[in-house]
């Protein structure tokens, strides 16, 4: 078996020592730090991105909160304004209604007064007519000349029976 032939043992060991030492030192000093830097850089980048993403999320949440606040505020303001307007309109309407009521009442009372007055007038006229007719009738039938005062008195006493 060539493996057990000691002829090249020293040579094998010598070159193994040379090459393995070179490999070890090279990897230790050059290659591995390089890979380590890359991995570290990547990890840093990932951490950075994660933290900035977190920050942005927080900012977004803040903005959302602000928007919600503003919406709420605007809602409240609108509600207030709507209420105010409704109140103002209601006041306006009620004042106008009351003034209309007053007008109407006045008009109604005026009309009532006029009606009463015209009724009175009419009644007076009717009375006069009644007196006249009665005078004429009595005069024609009986030839009795009655004074207006007398007729009035008679009519007054019988007035209740007419109605």
Partner 1 sequence: MAAKDSPLKQFEIDPISNIELGGYNISFTNSSFAMLITVLVITLFLTLTVNTRSIIPSRMQLISELMYNFIAQLLSDTVGDNGKRYFPFVFSLFMFVLIGNMVGMIPYQFTFTSHIIVTFALAAVVFIGVTILGFINHGIKFFTFFYIPGVPFYMHPLLIPIEVISYLSRPISLSVRLFANMLAGHTLLKVFAGFVVSMPFFTGVFPLAFIVALTGLEILIAFLQAYVFAILTCLYINDAYHLH
Q: How far is the CB of 42 from partner 1 (least distance, A)?
A: 5
Backbone angles phi, psi at 18, to 5 degrees: -60, -55
Question: With binding defined as CB under 8 A, does residue 53 bind partner 1?
Answer: no
Q: How far is the CB of 17 from partner 1 (least distance, A)?
A: 8
- Token pair recorded at residue 27: 């990897």
Question: With binding defined as CB under 8 A, does residue 49 bind partner 1?
Answer: no
Helix, strand, coil shares of the chain as percentages rounded to 5? 95, 0, 5
Question: With binding defined as CB under 8 A, does residue 32 bind partner 1?
Answer: yes
Residue with Cβ nearer partner 1 (16 or 53): 16
Question: With binding defined as CB under 8 A, does residue 35 bind partner 1?
Answer: yes
- Token pair recorded at residue 58: 């927080």
In whole angstroms, what is the distance from residue 89 CA to residue 44 CA? 66
Question: With binding defined as CB under 8 A, does residue 41 bind partner 1?
Answer: yes
40-53 burial: b if 16+ Cβ within 10 Å, else e: eeeeeeeeeeeeee
Residues in the chain: 163
Question: With binding defined as CB under 8 A, does residue 40 bind partner 1?
Answer: no
Stretch that binds partner 1, among 16-24, 74-82, 105-113, 144-152 (CB under 8 A): 16-24
Residues within the interface to partner 1 (CB under 8 A): 1-5, 7-17, 19-20, 22-24, 26-28, 30-32, 34-39, 41-42, 45
């Amino acid at each position: 078996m060539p493996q057990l032939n000691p002829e090249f043992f020293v040579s094998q060991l010598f070159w193994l020592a040379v090459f393995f030492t070179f490999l070890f030192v090279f990897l230790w000093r050059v290659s591995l730090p390089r890979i380590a830097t890359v991995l570290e850089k990547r990890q840093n980048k990932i951490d950075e991105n994660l933290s900035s993403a977190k920050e942005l999320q927080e900012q977004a949440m803040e903005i959302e909160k602000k928007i919600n606040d503003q919406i709420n505020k605007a809602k409240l303001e609108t509600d207030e304004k709507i209420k105010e307007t409704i109140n103002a309109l209601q006041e306006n309407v009620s004042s106008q209604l009351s003034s209309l009521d007053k007008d109407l009442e006045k008009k109604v009372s005026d009309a009532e007064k006029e009606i009463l007055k015209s009724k009175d007038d009419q009644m007076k006229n009717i009375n006069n007519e009644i007196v006249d007719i009665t005078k004429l009738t009595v005069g024609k039938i009986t030839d009795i000349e009655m004074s207006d005062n007398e007729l009035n008195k008679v009519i007054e006493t019988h007035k209740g029976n007419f109605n």
